[in-house]
Amino acid sequence: MSVAHPRKSIAWIAGIMISCIASATSAASLDTIAKQAVLIDMSTGTTLFEKNAHQRMATSSMSKIMTMYMVFERIKAGRLSLDDTMPVSERAWRMQGSKMFTELNAQIKVEDLIKGVIIQSGNDASVVLAEGLSGSEERFAEEMTKRARELGMADSNFKNATGWPDDNHYSTCYDLALLAEHLIKEYPEFYHYYSQTEFTYHGIKQGNRNPLLYRNMNVDGMKTGHTETAGYGLTASAERNGRRLILVVNGLPSMQARADESARIIEWGFREFESYALFKKGEPVEQAAVWMGAAGTVPLVVEDDLRVTMNRDERKNLKVSVVLEEPVPAPVAKGTRLGKIVMEAPGFSKREVPLVAGQDVERLGFIGRIGAAAMHLVSGSGS
């Protein structure tokens, strides 16, 4: 009879590499004056810190990350070019708040509009793009919301392209972090705009509003936001030694607090946590016995590189176990899920990752099956 049972239990595996979506806690406590916050290790999907991360909030100009996602999607699909131009309507020209200072009825290159949105946080540039792509800002906002839901942003709703205050325009720290991850992964060829520190248009030079770009701490994006209702917010990303952290904070009382608090949380994430490689994609983790197969065993592998992010003190207590049912009846198709890896440690959310067959195993022919059955009866083996 086949039964599920644990196999090797490994206190720690060194030098060995899935994206594990997990939640980690640090022995070193962290708090923040931000009303909402989340810090995620993008390399493993691990949430390192959160505070009201799923609480709906006004996102102000951080909404423009979604606007840019829509623009980049059109460019990559071949439906838009950086050299295309778009007209400035009176509505766009009259937009208040942060501006690119577009001219009424001017035809502006898409690449300049992108810089105007990302670097200068131009509300006018955002509306020009929205109207140019969808005919109206309202229609564009509907498309933003639809696409956000498709990306898994379940608690987001967009009523405009700018983040202009509206009771029905909202998102969460978690959703914005998820959006940032999608943009970075899917459109790396455009991500460089977020690290550009200044842009001059119409004779007016403006600096990037992201304060962490100027602090020599490996931050290369993404977007600030501020309204009287929402307070000061920031979506930021930094990469060091192959690890990328994404931070979203909101509801801070001042520009200085936004800069200092964001820097403090990111430095804490890099200092207190590390990403550890466990198994590489396709590398045998265990061998499962096969019943009536042309081979007696089949290698079990992970479908993607497996890494975990943990507090440094938790690493030595990590326990890795293999759970599977065997013997596995032949035939076995490569990629069939046959077991799982279970990872446990104090203060670390239990994680389970599927193990799949690393190769095909054909079933024995008729004569071979008779012989195997006879051998089984003689030996009395079973499980």
Concerning whether 23 is annotated as a catalytic residue, the answer is: no
Torsion angle defined by CA atoms of residues 301, 307, 310 and 315, in that order, rounded to the nearest 10 degrees: 50
Instruction: Answer whether 163's CB lies under 8 Å from 27's CB.
Output: no
278 closest CA partner among 49, 47, 43, 48: 43
Concerning whether 121 is annotated as a catalytic residue, the answer is: yes
Q: At 34, is the secondary structure helix, strand, or coil?
A: coil
Instruction: Find the catalytic residue in 121, 126, 156, 262.
Output: 121
Task: Give the containing element (helix H, strand E) for 8.
Answer: strand 3-10
- Is the preceding omega at residue 165 within 30 degrees of 0, hence cis? no
Distance CA(309)–CA(294), nearest Å, equals 39
| Amino acid (1-letter code) at residue 180 | A
C-alpha distances out from residue 186 to 22, 73, 245, 348, Å? 22, 9, 16, 29
| Amino acid (1-letter code) at residue 83 | D
Instruction: Find the catalytic residue in 64, 115, 159, 223.
Output: 64
Instruction: Find the catalytic residue in 26, 35, 60, 61.
Output: 61
Instruction: Answer whether 190's CB lies under 8 Å from 72's CB.
Output: yes
| Residue 42 exposure: Cα atoms within 13 Å on the Cβ side | 24
Instruction: Answer whether 25's CB lies under 8 Å from 123's CB.
Output: no
Rg of the chain in Å (alpha carbons)? 26
End-to-end CA distance of the chain: 6
* CA 214 to chain centroid: 24
* CA 350 to chain centroid: 20
Distance CA(3)–CA(266), nearest Å, equals 45
* CA 59 to chain centroid: 18
DSSP 6: E
Structure tokens at 91: 């509505």
Concerning whether 64 is annotated as a catalytic residue, the answer is: yes
DSSP 160: S
C-alpha distances out from residue 108 to 101, 121, 343, Å? 11, 16, 53
Structure tokens at 285: 């983790």
Active-site positions read 61, 64, 121
